[in-house]
Amino acid sequence: MTNDFITLSGSGLRCEVKPALGGCIAGLWFDDVPVLRSTPAAELATVRLAGSYPLVPFSNRVGHATLKWQGTSHPLVQNNGPEPHAIHGIGWQRPWEVLEQDGQVLMLACEHRADAAWPFAFDASQTFCIRGDVLELTLSMTNQSAVPAPAGLGWHPYFVKRPGSHISFEAAGRWEMSGEKLPTHRQPSRGLDTDCAGLDVDHCFDGWGSTVLLRDELLNTRIASSLSRLVVFTNSTRDFVAIEPVSHVNNAVNLLQASAASAEDLGLEVLAPGESMSAQMSIKVERAP
């Protein structure tokens, strides 16, 4: 794996990206305080320890690595060790090509041709831009297959969980999870407003109010996105809080076949040949008062 990486910097923010390692963010720092779980890019050997990586063409899990789409079952690759599901799409496990870069802006691209990991061809791009104390991210994909294809986008950032970490956001509902880490049904939820130390959560929230505030003794961080669903994952054994803006509910394609929920309910996009979708996310950081 190449150690090539690109550094973007602005007013106190520094972001190191490894294009060949899943187009991931190795680390994000504010005045040398880690915002995300951060490893110097030259030392990062696995994307699973990255600060963040892109979710494309789906987020979270496709149950039992089988995609049920328009009357056909497509076996997918079980791409996370012993886990029986396909997880986090495929973009995080593919190299990305640098299209454009300078000290504050980076654009990457990834081209996928149908294979065992995902049966529909697509092109994806992501941009990273530091403007002052804000990291702005854009992720897009275009269906390059000859048939309509399910599609989803998101990000998987791991924010540092420090003493006093507190998370707050508003939502309308939360999808409950089975022991197999797959959603079963939706319950009303107002979101979260709680300390992270004792938090045990691995759920997708919908009706998300588009912003999350994460504050601790060192930093105040505001996460915002154009997406309306949010996966939050942490427990007492984790030194991070995964705060993941996503376009659809976990296992959305298969839920569409197995439940009364509509594609709109689940956030599932269906892209016609040549059609695109895009999403934005930003991370604004400031020192705690």
Q: What is the pLDDT of residues 204-235, one digit of tens each?
A: 999 999 999 999 999 999 999 999 999 999 99
pLDDT of residue 260: 80
Task: Confirm whether pTM is higher than 0.85.
Answer: yes
pLDDT of residue 247: 98
User: What is the residue type of 43?
Assistant: E
The arithmetic mean of pLDDT across residues 162-185, rounded, is: 96
pLDDT of residue 1: 41
**pLDDT of 3 strictly over 70:** no
**pLDDT of 2 strictly over 70:** no
Enumerate domains of the chain plus CATH numbers: 6-287 (2.70.98.10)
Q: Which H or E run contains 211?
A: strand 211-215
**pLDDT of 198 strictly over 50:** yes
Q: What is the pLDDT of residues 4-22, one digit of tens each?
A: 999 999 989 999 999 999 9
Q: Give the chain's end-to-end CA distance (angstroms, integer).
A: 41
**pLDDT of 46 strictly over 60:** yes
